[in-house]
Structure 1
Amino acid sequence: MMRPAELDGVRAGTVDLAFRRWDRPRVKAGTRLRTAVGVVEVLSVEQVALSRLRAEDARRAGAASLAALKEALAARADRPVFRVGLSYGGADPREALRAAIPDAAEIATILHQLDRLDAASAIGPWTRATLRIIDRNPEVRAPDLAAELGRETLDFKKDVRKLKERGLTESLAIGYRLSPRGETVLDHEDGPRERAPRRTGTPLPRTIGAPATRALRAVDVHTLEAVSGWTRADLAALHGVGPIALERLETAMAQLGLGYAT
């Protein structure tokens, strides 16, 4: 688990280490982790003594200081410290999959996969109902969708992730929406339906948090391109948009060559 600021640092190349207290290594070299900023690759894992850590280690791990890094490792002091080498592995491959419109043969394969998920489920068929409720309710909180289906939120989220793995849904700052791939599959099952036009632009990053997302949505700001039309001061005046959200928005916009209005 990495904080959003650390993930941003990995993507930018300023963070290439992480330190963790584990009873045993939880990852191994070569592991590719999908995160909110894309793929993070584990290059190395080695046990180190806390006393051997230096200021350079803290800097490379994105910590404010060596003291701050040691403080973060103070919990679970009975467990050894592991030094994890990291690098940015590029965009999440599911992004391209979501945009890939399947042909008839692919649709048949996807439907077969969904049937297998339904058959293996203890609650019975759930895949189509989940796709349909997300299609009808884009950008709606997972607990609200789960409640409408009479399901526990955590179990519902786990199942949505299975659909996401197949490129059928995408997670937003709050809630979900069907991908173009998911819409094509559902339309094949149910027939085409009218949908609100898909917003163009880059969705708000999930790392800004729900309060900031709600505040931005309230003023009809749903994309980073729309954020760039606002000054930092004007956004800061919105209730729910704090300094951390502003920094994360700025970092995300910088990846697109954008910034706050002046």
Structure 2
Amino acid sequence: DAPRILDASTAHRVAPGWTYGFAELAPGQAARIAGAARVANPGCYPTGAVALLRPLVDAGLLAPDHPVTINAVSGYSGGGRAMIEAHARDGGPAFELYALGLEHKHVAEIERYGGLTRRPLFVPSVGHFAQGMVVSIPLHLDTLPGRPTGADLHAALAARYEGAALIGVAAGAPAALDAATLAGSDRMELFVAANEARRQAVLIARLDNLGKGASGAAVQNLALMLGDAAGTASTHAEAADVH
């Protein structure tokens, strides 16, 4: 048999002939990964952004051409060897915005698999903590089709990920979120923070940039490609459920 490939780089995530390795992307995606010869593992930031955007686009609650803004912060372990060594040696900056040329390599991936037709504005940042990530997307509810409520957005996310082993949709959003809470975990948590009086909402994904955002997703994809229909063999997902 010909070899099957799981590529963890950015080289093939939007390339023709490659299957996108986000098993929860849409109904049937896990089966497509299971049968694929070439799978591209998702990026960490896109994992959070796409998880939030795609269900809302599919449900008609977010127009594909909506001017989406995505803000995100990651632990420094996502920045490669030089950044890791700088933080470990010198302490590194407490917080740093980067990619301010607005050409981050993950934008094309977010646009395609988020179901968008307008290029999103993506502003990443790094904090002085090793692992963890928060991706947030602010929305003015009155600019969305049908003028949905925060509860409508939550319902669409909950419906998409019902029964998902590694993605939970929280019933509400706390007053503050620690980006490092899921460090060492393969899970991802999704939240909708809404102020109905102001008609504003923020979509939030929290994950480990090295877990569901990288190696955890790779193990999940390998499990699917090797015949584990659930794609959860050998992962260390917690039993706790945040639905």
Q: Give the structure-2-normalised TM-score.
A: 0.24
> When you count helix as a share of all residues, which structure comes out higher?
1
> When you count strand as a share of all residues, which structure comes out higher?
2
